[in-house]
Amino acid sequence: MQQTEIQIKTTGIDHVVLWVNDLERAKAFYVDLLGMTVNHEGGGNCFLWCGNDQVALFKTRGGAVTEGGIELNHMALKMEPESYEATKARLENAGVYVHGRPGDDTCIYFDDPDGHGLQLLYKGFDG
């Protein structure tokens, strides 16, 4: 790649946008189950704090229906330490199907109500 005089240096991610079919259902999932907090909302969207980062939920428009897993493979979320079993049980008690990676007790995979793939990590991802 050819170098240019002006280089852009990114410093992090401000937010990730997920299209959702039912904004209130999605907001409840991320706030009530995953512990995110509302930064601001209105006009068919809701920006949620996830630590110092944001997840933005945008209501689909014009009759469009979102299908999770198409625009995003998965979003990995850092989480405060808790046992794999306790976290898995909490999600399953909420009706969420949970799976992990064989031999790895540091992450949990599941889908949000719109089918977006999510992963919870207890420590830094090492591949």
For 82-124, the pLDDT digits (tens) are 778 888 888 999 999 998 877 776 778 999 999 999 988 876 4
Distance of alpha carbon 72 from alpha carbon 123, whole angstroms: 22
Per-residue pLDDT reduced to its tens digit, 48-93: 999 999 999 999 988 888 888 787 888 988 887 777 888 888 899 9
Question: 112 φ, ψ to 5°?
Answer: -80, 175
One-letter amino acid for residue 3 of the chain: Q
Distance of alpha carbon 72 from alpha carbon 55, whole angstroms: 13
Helix (H, G, I), strand (E, B) or coil at 54: strand
Architecture of domain 15-121: Roll (3.10)
pTM: 0.77
Distance of alpha carbon 37 from alpha carbon 115, whole angstroms: 21
